[in-house]
Amino acid sequence: MSSYVFPIQTAFIIFVSASMFLLVPWLIYGYRKDGFFSWSRFAVSFSFIFFLLAAYCLVILPVPTTRNNCTGPAAHAFYNLSPFMFVKDIMRETPVIWSQPSTWINMLKGRAFLQVMFNVLLLMPLGVYIRYFWQKRAFWKHALVAGFGLSLFFEITQLTGLYGYYSCPYRLFDVDDLMLNTSGAVIGFFAAPLLLALFPSRASIQAKSEQIVEQNHVYPVPQLLALLIDGIVVVLIANFISIFTLSNDIQDVINTSTAMVIVLLFVPWVRSGVTPGSFVLRFRYVDRQSGMPKPRALFKRFIAIYAPWLLLTIIQLASKYAYPNYQNDVLDSYLIWISLGVSTLYFLVYIVLLIHVVVVLFSGGKRSFYFDEVSRIRASRK
């Protein structure tokens, strides 16, 4: 059992690391596609990624300690092309007397039988996922082809010694593994309804998505994601402008301010309330009363976003340039209190903004971000 724990632990570590980079793109895709956050779709999608990682790690780990591994059994036995050898292995390792049921238990505990069960179970989840994606029983051939293809990929990985990295294969290419893995995928496909009954169907998710579009409701999370994308675009534009300007703190503030005016004011003004972020998330900013983007409202929204950033930037610059370049014992005590006050103010602004964002995100769409409240703007999908 310990030989299975290490690969799964490795897969989990890789999965957690990859999830940190995949979460935001997946959220953008989910809100762009459905208009709301679906826990079931999230669970299915990310568990599918973990399943693929775990299956791959179980196949390739542990690896040899050296690349020159052409010694011992691996140097002579590269593959098995005789089908049903697993039956002979089971009977050889745990002889069964059919008239004595007690021997059946010994067979079920034997290494050869457990290896067969592992190969069947390895790709059973693949069949479950395929049933979720395609729903109908008529698509069982998809599970057959996908199971065989993935199993063949695993076996080729073993036969080539991790694609030529090792001098010799360190695991056996086995036709029985192909048969058992493929069978497991098909079994998982037909057994899937027992598990999928716990999750909303894709049809119900689609129905809810259409209802949200009809209600013209945009949740706070996609609005926050859009603002995040806008911020990335601002940074890119500011860095581009900096190529043609001097390099100092004041100029950096001017460059960033210019980029913010372009992204948060000029672009939505000429694009009917659409910023780069809202374009990706498929909505726009409109006046709450008229339902149309108004320049005055867009300007108020820009100021409401720009002002806190400018305040934090001024605090940073004040903290950086408040200290004189010469030593002055009289001023030192005052500078300590000034520094403490500046740091406290900086911290408070961040904490207030963070609390505000958390409250809005967990309000279920009942609250709006402060810059939308000030400007009387709402997000609209129409």
Q: How far apart are CA 367 and CA 150, in angstroms?
A: 47
Angstrom distances, CA of residue 103 to CA of 9, 33, 99, 115, 375: 35, 56, 9, 18, 78
Strand 173-174, strand 79-80: pairing = parallel
Helix ranges (H only) for the chain are: 2-33, 39-60, 85-93, 102-109, 111-122, 124-134, 140-159, 175-196, 202-215, 220-242, 249-261, 267-270, 276-281, 295-321, 329-361, 370-375
| Token code pair at residue 276 | 């780069």
pLDDT confidence of residue 333: 62
pTM of the model as a whole: 0.75
pLDDT digits (tens, 9 = 90+) for 112-154: 888 889 999 999 999 999 998 888 888 899 999 999 999 999 9
pLDDT at res. 122:
93
Which residues make beta-bridge pairs with 61?
A: none
pLDDT (tens digit, 9 = 90+) per residue, 309-336?
A: 998 888 888 777 665 554 555 556 666 6
Q: Report the percent of the chain where pLDDT is more than 70.
A: 91
**pLDDT tens, residue by residue, 156-170:** 998 888 888 888 888
Backbone φ and ψ for 309, nearest 5 degrees, come out as -60, -45
d(CA 192, CA 213): 31
**Inter-CA distances, 173 with 60, 154, 157, 277, Å:** 12, 9, 9, 49
Per-residue pLDDT, 231 = 95
Give the mean pLDDT of the chain: 85
Average confidence (pLDDT) over 32-57? 85
pLDDT-based confidence at residue 302 (cuts at 50, 70, 90): very high
CA distance 122 to 120: 6
Confidence class of residue 248 from pLDDT cuts 50, 70 and 90? confident
Q: Residue 264: pLDDT above 80?
A: yes
**284 membership: H or E segment, kind and range:** strand 284-287
Phi, psi (degrees; rounded to nearest 5) at 360: -65, -45
Rounded Cα–Cα distance for residues 31 and 27 (Å): 6
